[in-house]
Amino acid sequence: MGLVRLRQVVKRYGTKLSVDHLTLTIEQGEIFGLLGPNGAGKSTTIKMICGLLNSDEGEIEVDGEPVRRHPLSVKSKIGLVPQEIALYDQLTAAEHLRFFGKLYGLRGSRLRERIDEALEFTGLTGHRNERPGSFSGGMKRRLNIACAIVHQPKLIIMDEPTVGIDPHSRNHILESVRELNRRGATIIYTSHYMEEVEAISTRVGIIDHGRLIALGTIRELLTQVEEQEKLVIETEGLTDDAVEEIGRHASVRRVKRRDGVLDVYLRHAQSYLQDMLYILAKHEVRIASLRNETPNLETLFLTLTGRNLRD
Amino acid sequence: MRTIGTLIHHELRRMIRAKETFWLLLFLPLLLIFILGNALAGFFDYEDRRVDPIEVGLVVLDEASAEFAGLLRTEEMARWLDVRDFDDRERMLDALRNREIGYGVVVPEHFAERATSGEEARWELYPGHNADANLVAESAIGGLLDRINFVQSAVIALGDPRAAEAAVRTASAADGSRVNVMPPDMSGRDYSALQYYAAQMLVMFLLYAGMAAGLSIIEDREMRTLERIHAAPVRPVHILAGKFAGDGLIAFAQALLIIVFTFAFYGLDWGSRYIHLLAVCLFIVISAVSLAVIVAALAPKGRTFQTVFMTLIMTMTFLSGGFTPELGGFLDRLGEFTLSYWASQSFIHLMLGSADSIVREHLTVLGLTAAGLFLISALLGRKAVSHE
């Protein structure tokens, strides 16, 4: 069942088209990774889903309600973790949660319970009466998340929540995302770190120039580039005959020779590795090193756009 | 309403916890009032700057009003006003422009008719170049007009002029009378340097309190917390109302604290019309916060906002005589177009116990200014609290 539906959504900033006829459905209970380079239209899309921006064309629905017609009701179902750490220097961690909890209509004992839960979930219980000024970058990021989940939203939108933090805090946040999902929340997770998106997403959408250029599970998406698996073989005494024979192998799509280094693009590299080694041995070529490069979302993005994801 | 309450509480907490609030909004004004009030006391010494009777040009366009106009020449008035007759308005205005006289009064046609029929009757008043002289003349003439209007009302009500005069005298003497028919502030009271600068500094720092409201909006915008608030089920008008009311309350509390503190510790006399005093404070606060919202809507960055707003405050304070009381000539005239002028003059008139009509006039101008600025801020408010 679709929790978020976008139909032919368009957003322009002046003459620049930021989101270009985007159609997308995000199912309830999934972790949806929205991937794309900076300026691709990820944040604009998210802001439109949250009701922070109006679309110029098209329709957006959250939990069956059109965002434009029922913005307050839609907003009450969403928790937004903004890209920037949006906290107040003058407020303690607990006061942040009390303030945002009240804005979402929580009061009394329910509010107190939710504050305790959110602090515990983000590992900040021991710092509840401290102000963000004394927090590390990771702790600030966690408080940033706590503010968005205090009202137990159905949909949590995380816009690059791991920018600029240490690996430990990053792992903590990724684990928190999985846990929130296990507890029933649908998550939209944007990042230009494809490793993160690969690690946690059940489905991924890749966006570029405001258009959705790929959509599916990680497995589905990677089948599009499985032919781009690559064996990189450093050799001594490489001969033209050896290169020619490898190129003739049925699984090999392309061979590239750089002095003594051989890049072999092939399907199912592991299955045919033995064959490659046999051919090289037959031509008395010695192998100095060998590695297998499997395609990933970065490869897919490169294939689809001709650019790197982090350009 | 709950959401607005939450936003007001949030704003109050943020402001109170900000270190600069105490220093900028409370300590600094009290310190400046004390320093300026004492350092410049000599400038305000009553003996040194005793106001000689002000030469007032009088044009009577209504023959039936000669008796009323004659009241300007009573012995009591002669202490303050030296009346010179003119045949027509133009000559009188020429003399005023050439500084031959310090103030001008025109008794318009049908004045007597209006006064005796119980309608409110006004004279045309033309201020001159000297702010102090204008203040004294306005006070004396305004009070006289109040008295004329009141006596005429009593005559109409009681039917007999002598009975009316007696009633007026009784009303004047009665304890708790709501109408002051005594001669207007002719007691020789003058304002001290401390009073003058208390009024000026209070106005200036109330404007600064407005600036704090604008800065709070811009800080929210720059820190992206405004976007976060917009992501919650909150209408933009709630955000604006929360900012306005929260910062307005801080500014109002600041005004009351300064008034109470200067009264208790500096012995400053703010007059006895407390409702009027509160109204002046309220109008300044509304104006200041509205102005801050307007500038915040137009200024994209905090630094731009601060520069523009501080320039506005400083210019208005300077032109209204906040740094030096007598600027003279064109600058004095220009000062009359500032919020600070009407605000500080309202305080000073209250301190002096000026006639009701004068205080009312100042309150009206101040109230209309506040209403105008509030209206503009309401129109631009959505842009000010926009997160985009």
> Does residue B146 register a pLDDT over 80?
no
| Rounded distance between C-alpha atoms, residue B304 and residue A155, angstroms | 38
Predicted pLDDT at B163: 56
A198 vs B369, residue with greater confidence? B369
Look up the CATH number of the domain holding residue B105: 3.40.190
- Three-state DSSP class for residue A6: strand
The top-scoring range by mean pLDDT among B85-89, B354-358, B363-367 is: B363-367
Residues A212 and A248 in one domain: no
> Does residue B172 register a pLDDT over 90?
no
- Take residue B145 and report the two structure tokens written for it: 């007009």
| Rounded distance between C-alpha atoms, residue B372 and residue B131, angstroms | 26
Tracing tokens 């990771």 back to the chain, one arrives at: A138
Is B169 within the bounds of a domain? yes
Residues B208 and B332 in one domain: yes
DSSP character string of B148-168 = HHHHHHHHHHHS-HHHHHHHH
Residues A168 and A193 in one domain: yes
B188 vs B242, residue with greater confidence? B242
| Rounded distance between C-alpha atoms, residue B315 and residue A273, angstroms | 81
Cβ contact, residue pair B223, A86, below 8 Å: yes
Residues B350 and B201 in one domain: yes
B209-237 average pLDDT score: 89
CA distances from B51 to B121, B136, B200, B332, B351 (A): 28, 8, 21, 18, 18
| Rounded distance between C-alpha atoms, residue A198 and residue A299, angstroms | 13
Is A186 within the bounds of a domain? yes
Is A311 within the bounds of a domain? no
Is A301 within the bounds of a domain? no
The residue among A68, A53, A57, A6 whose CA lies nearest residue A205 is A6
**Total number of domains constituting chain A:** 2
- Take residue B90 and report the two structure tokens written for it: 């133009």
Is B48 within the bounds of a domain? no
Strands, E, within A14-112: which ranges? Answer: 16-27, 31-35, 57-62, 65-66, 78-81
Residues B345 and B202 in one domain: yes
Cβ contact, residue pair A84, B235, below 8 Å: no
Residues B27 and B64 in one domain: no
Predicted pLDDT at B48: 44
Amino acid present at B255: A
| Rounded distance between C-alpha atoms, residue A42 and residue A207, angstroms | 7
Q: Would you state the torsion angle of the CA atoms of residues B244, B250, B252, B257, taken in this order, to the nearest 10 degrees?
A: 180
Predicted pLDDT at A31: 94
Pairing of strands A261-266, A252-258: antiparallel
Cβ contact, residue pair B227, A86, below 8 Å: yes
B127-137 average pLDDT score: 81
Q: How big is chain B, counted in residues? A: 388
DSSP character string of B99-142 = TSSSEEEEE-TTHHHHHHTTS----EEEE-S-HHHHHHHHHHHH
Work out the number of other CB atoms within 10 angstroms of the CB of residue B379: 12
Provide the total of helices (H) and of strands (E) in chain B, helices listed first. 17, 4
Predicted pLDDT at B290: 94
A56-64 average pLDDT score: 93
Shortest Cα–Cα distance, B298 to chain A (Å): 19
Residues B209 and B349 in one domain: yes
Shortest Cα–Cα distance, B2 to chain A (Å): 8
| Rounded distance between C-alpha atoms, residue B170 and residue B154, angstroms | 12
Q: Are A165 and A137 in contact (CB under 8 A)?
A: yes
> Does residue A136 register a pLDDT over 70?
yes
**pLDDT tier at A253, thresholds 50, 70, 90:** confident
Residues A41 and A63 in one domain: yes
Residues A142 and A258 in one domain: no
| Rounded distance between C-alpha atoms, residue B73 and residue A59, angstroms | 80
Is B185 within the bounds of a domain? no
pTM of the model: 0.71
- For an interface test with A, the pick among B1, B10, B11 (most A C-beta atoms closer than 10 Å) comes out as B10
B12 touches chain A (CB under 8 A): no
Is B212 within the bounds of a domain? yes
Q: List all residues 6 or more positions away from B205 whose beta carbon is below 8 Å from its beta carbon.
A: B24, B25, B28, B29, B254, B258
* Mean of pLDDT over chain A: 89
Residues B359 and B234 in one domain: yes
Expressed as residue numbers, the domain containing B120 is 54-173
Provide the total of helices (H) and of strands (E) in chain A, helices listed first. 11, 14
Cβ contact, residue pair B231, A52, below 8 Å: yes
Residues A15 and A129 in one domain: yes
Work out the number of other CB atoms within 10 angstroms of the CB of residue B94: 14
Q: Are B242 and B11 in contact (CB under 8 A)?
A: yes
Predicted pLDDT at B325: 66
Q: Is A302 buried (19+), middle (13-18) or exposed (0-12) by CB count in 10 A?
A: middle
Residues B223 and B347 in one domain: yes
**Total number of domains constituting chain B:** 2
Q: List all residues 6 or more positions away from B355 whose beta carbon is below 8 Å from its beta carbon.
A: B139, B142, B143, B145, B146, B180, B184, B185
Predicted pLDDT at A118: 93
Residues B67 and B162 in one domain: yes
Residues B329 and B350 in one domain: yes
Cβ contact, residue pair A78, B231, below 8 Å: yes
> Does residue A88 register a pLDDT over 90?
yes
B237 touches chain A (CB under 8 A): no
Residues B360 and B263 in one domain: yes
Is A124 within the bounds of a domain? yes
Cβ contact, residue pair A75, B231, below 8 Å: yes
Residues B36 and B58 in one domain: no
Is A98 within the bounds of a domain? yes
Expressed as residue numbers, the domain containing A103 is 2-217
Q: List all residues 6 or more positions away from B96 whose beta carbon is below 8 Å from its beta carbon.
A: B57, B102, B103, B104, B126, B128
- Hey, CA dihedral for B208, B211, B212, B215, is it positive or negative? negative
Residues A238 and A183 in one domain: no
Predicted pLDDT at A156: 94
**pLDDT tier at A95, thresholds 50, 70, 90:** very high
Interface of A with B (CB under 8 A): 50-53, 71-73, 75-76, 78, 80, 82, 84, 86-88, 90-91, 95, 99-100, 102-105, 147
Listed range (A3-7, A74-78, A288-292, B26-30) with the worst mean pLDDT: B26-30
Residues A129 and A199 in one domain: yes
B278-282 average pLDDT score: 93
Cβ contact, residue pair B232, A52, below 8 Å: no
Predicted pLDDT at B174: 41
> Does residue B240 register a pLDDT over 70?
yes
Predicted pLDDT at A187: 95
Cβ contact, residue pair B387, A52, below 8 Å: yes
Q: Are A212 and A260 in contact (CB under 8 A)?
A: no
Shortest Cα–Cα distance, A76 to chain B (Å): 6
Residues A164 and A257 in one domain: no
**pLDDT tier at B171, thresholds 50, 70, 90:** very low
- Take residue B14 and report the two structure tokens written for it: 């943020």
| Rounded distance between C-alpha atoms, residue B268 and residue B252, angstroms | 19
